[in-house]
Amino acid sequence: MKVKTILVSQPEPKVENSPYFELQQKLKVKFDFRPFIHVEGVSAKEIRQQKIDLNNYTAIILTSKNSVDHFFRVAEEMRYKVPETLKYFCQSEAVAYYLQKYVVYRKRKIYVGLKDFVDIAPLIKKYKDEKFLLPASDQLNADVPTTLNALKIDWTEGVFYRTVMSDLSDLKDVYYDVLAFFSPTGIKSLFMNFPDFEQNNTRIAVFGSTTQKEALDHGLRVDIMAPSPEAPSMTMALEKYITKANK
């Protein structure tokens, strides 16, 4: 069956040269974007209930743009003046670059990993005498605490924001040829919003093995899988599938 419409369960890209827009023109298909999940901040009161006092930490571990936003939001709510001596350990260059929204880069001690969390472990280990705070989501990747515990450092995890399923009731009577998912929570959101969802001819695209497992656990047929050696991104996997389906 041919593919004409695709719903991507993420916010619409803000850049004009997004691979999705290029694919839309190239293959003459229609992409819509709708986040199936969103992030909500945890209040300063709830942070205090987690026995977290920002004054107690000398270093912050930042794994995402969300962790940056919510650390500084909580700091402001707590009237905590972020000291210039605070060290920042950023999982990737993208996170470190985003940090500039809040701090003057050249005046701060910022340490940057390559991409995966394990990449920053050697940098953290070099400063093992610091007291580390990890402002995180309620759905922290299991490899993060495992990696930090193995370093035998003094660290504390704080839930600063939560991943919440979005209300998708307006999509009730809308049909798409392909639904693209990027997290297990996105799959859960689909079934929370539409408990009677039947796949029928809808193709399901998933990114990552945990998303794939969630889809299969819900009885879905996974038609498009990324990453793979020949399609390391979702857009490449979609292009490969759609090109074949629309011949």
Residues in the chain predicted with pLDDT less than 70, given as ranges, are none
Contact status, residue 36 vs residue 160, Cβ threshold 8 Å: no
Q: Looking at residue 114, what is its pLDDT? A: 87
Residue 7's SS3 state is strand
The vertex-119 CA angle with 154 and 214, nearest 5°, equals 95
**pTM (2 d.p.):** 0.76
Do β-strands 59-62 and 131-137 pair in parallel, antiparallel, or remain unpaired? parallel
Structure token pair of residue 154: 């003094």
Structure token pair of residue 199: 């796949």
Q: Looking at residue 107, what is its pLDDT? A: 74
Q: Looking at residue 140, what is its pLDDT? A: 85
Q: Looking at residue 116, what is its pLDDT? A: 84
**Distance (Å, rounded) from C-alpha 226 to C-alpha 145?**
26
Q: How many residues are listed for the chain in this entry?
A: 247
Q: Looking at residue 20, what is its pLDDT? A: 96
Q: Looking at residue 175, what is its pLDDT? A: 94
User: What number of helices (H) and strands (E) belong to the chain?
Assistant: 9, 11
Contact status, residue 5 vs residue 177, Cβ threshold 8 Å: yes
Do β-strands 37-41 and 154-165 pair in parallel, antiparallel, or remain unpaired? antiparallel
How many CA atoms does the CB half-sphere of 218 hold within 13 Å? 23
Residues 6+ apart with CB under 8 A from 231: 237, 239, 240
**Distance (Å, rounded) from C-alpha 191 to C-alpha 185?**
10
Largest CA distance in the chain: 61
Helix (H) or strand (E) holding 88, with range, is strand 87-90
Helix (H) or strand (E) holding 21, with range, is helix 19-27
Domains and CATH numbers, the chain: 5-36+168-245 (3.40.50.10090), 40-163 (3.40.50.10090)
- The torsion angles phi and psi of 161, rounded to 5 degrees, stand at -155, 160
